[in-house]
């Protein structure tokens, strides 16, 4: 079998961290589903900014929307939902075949709302209703303001992909919000099965410390954070609290490894795929990383140790080197939110420029 098939057989879902209209139009996404065991995809403002700016494929729809009275943000969501509805339909057989556990696509709320809980809740509900697909996650950042929004949205039955998580503690905060939302549904007599994933960003850790640590520590921090968080995920799923919820029909929130493309050309391009193989989790990877793993990746090392293996020892080495991991996790989350805002603003400007040029023509 191929490496992607091996990883799928191990029990980890392979998702594509990309979407463009060209991937849909030329059949590439369908080929990834058929040949590379891809069972879902994720998107974010950076991905859509590159897709819309780099292709003329969106211009026909922009022409159709001319005169509809939509502001630029409204135009973006129409463009994005058109792509994601098509992708969701391609993954519908996977979604049905896994009883709703897999086969998801993701659409993010505006990153401009990251610090506004009420507006995040309102927009997430609106987007999910408008998309009209049961296998569409709404992405909500796991920021302090996003955590209460996650609980409210899960209680409301909206499937959520919690994004911008960088540490075990941030993951557990998101998992707690998800769990409270499910418990409230049980108490209210509602169906407790509302799916969710918690997206832990990996590679940005190693990029953040690359110039400040010794060579023996380089490119080990992201994997250690992933292993530490996986151990917390396993413990939570086996807890009495979740044993009770599963008996009531609930499904644990899956841990998702995100930002798994390597940034250092000297680093193996499949580092964060080979090293984070774990059942009942997701790894969403950039297109070039997916293709690299399919070509020369390996799961020969087997699944992650359920106790995190040497994660705590590795993290202790970084603390001994003077790295404040808690402070860095917060910095990474703040910087990640800002980067999404920057990409969002650039994308909105690109759409406005395209719409104007088409109207003028």
Distance CA 332, CA 126 (A): 29
The reply to whether 139 belongs to the active site is: yes
Which candidate in 50, 125, 139, 263 is catalytic?
139
CA distance 267 to 67: 50
Task: Please tell me whether residue 47 adopts helix, strand or coil conformation.
Answer: helix
Whether residue 2 contacts residue 291, with contact meaning beta carbons closer than 8 Å, is answered with no
Return left, alpha or beta for 7; rule: phi > 0 is left, psi -120 to 50 is alpha, else beta. alpha
DSSP string, 86-140: HHHHHHHHHHHHTTTSS--EEEEPPGGGTT-HHHHHHHHHHHHHHH--TTEEEEE
User: C-alpha dihedral over 106, 349, 49, 157, to 10 degrees?
Assistant: -10
Nearest Cα residue to 226 out of 270, 186, 283: 283
Q: How far is CA 174 from CA 54, 91, 165, 273, 292, in A?
A: 34, 26, 8, 23, 31
Q: Measured between alpha carbons, how far is 154 from 180 in angstroms, rounded to an integer?
A: 9
Residue 141 is inside which H or E element, if any?
Answer: strand 136-141
How far apart are the two ends of the chain, measured CA to CA in Å? 52
**How far does Cα 294 stand from its chain's mean position?**
20
Q: Which residues pair with 14 in a beta bridge?
A: 38, 283
Question: Whose structure tokens read 């009883």?
Answer: 99
Distances (CA, A) of 229 to 165, 202, 247, 332: 10, 11, 24, 16
Q: Which two tokens stand for residue 33?
A: 């589903």
Enumerate the active-site residues. 139
């Amino acid at each position: 079998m191929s490496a992607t098939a091996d990883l799928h057989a191990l029990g980890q879902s392979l998702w594509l961290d990309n979407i463009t209209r060209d991937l849909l139009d030329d059949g590439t996404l369908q080929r990834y589903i058929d040949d590379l065991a891809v069972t879902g995809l994720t998107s974010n403002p950076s991905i859509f900014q590159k897709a819309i700016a780099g292709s003329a494929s969106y211009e026909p729809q922009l022409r159709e929307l001319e005169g509809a009275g939509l502001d630029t943000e409204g135009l973006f969501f129409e463009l994005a939902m058109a792509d994601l509805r098509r992708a969701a339909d391609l993954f519908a057989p996977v979604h049905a075949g896994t009883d709703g556990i897999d086969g998801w696509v993701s659409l993010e709320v505006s990153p401009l709302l990251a610090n506004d809980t009420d507006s995040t809740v309102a927009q997430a509900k609106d987007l999910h209703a408008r998309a009209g697909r049961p296998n569409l996650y709404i992405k909500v950042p796991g920021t302090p303001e996003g955590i209460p929004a996650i609980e409210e949205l899960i209680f409301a039955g909206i499937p959520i992909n919690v994004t911008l998580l960088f540490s075990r503690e941030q993951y557990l905060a998101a998992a707690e919000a998800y769990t409270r939302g499910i418990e409230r549904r049980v108490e209210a007599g509602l169906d407790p099965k509302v799916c969710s994933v918690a997206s832990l960003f990996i590679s940005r850790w190693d990029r953040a410390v690359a110039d400040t640590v010794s060579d023996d520590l380089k490119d080990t921090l992201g994997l250690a954070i992933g292993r530490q968080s996986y151990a917390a995920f396993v413990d939570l799923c086996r807890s009495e609290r979740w044993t009770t919820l599963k008996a009531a029909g609930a499904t644990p929130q899956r841990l998702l490894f995100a930002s798994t493309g390597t940034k250092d050309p000297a680093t193996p391009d499949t580092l964060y795929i080979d090293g984070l193989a774990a059942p009942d989790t997701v790894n969403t990877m950039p297109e070039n990383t997916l293709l690299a793993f399919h070509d020369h990746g390996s799961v020969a090392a087997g699944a992650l140790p359920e106790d995190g293996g040497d994660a705590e020892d590795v993290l202790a080495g970084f603390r001994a080197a003077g790295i404040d991991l808690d402070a860095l996790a917060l910095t990474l989350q703040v910087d990640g939110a800002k980067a999404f805002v920057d990409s969002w603003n650039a994308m909105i400007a690109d759409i406005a420029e395209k719409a104007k040029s088409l109207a003028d023509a």
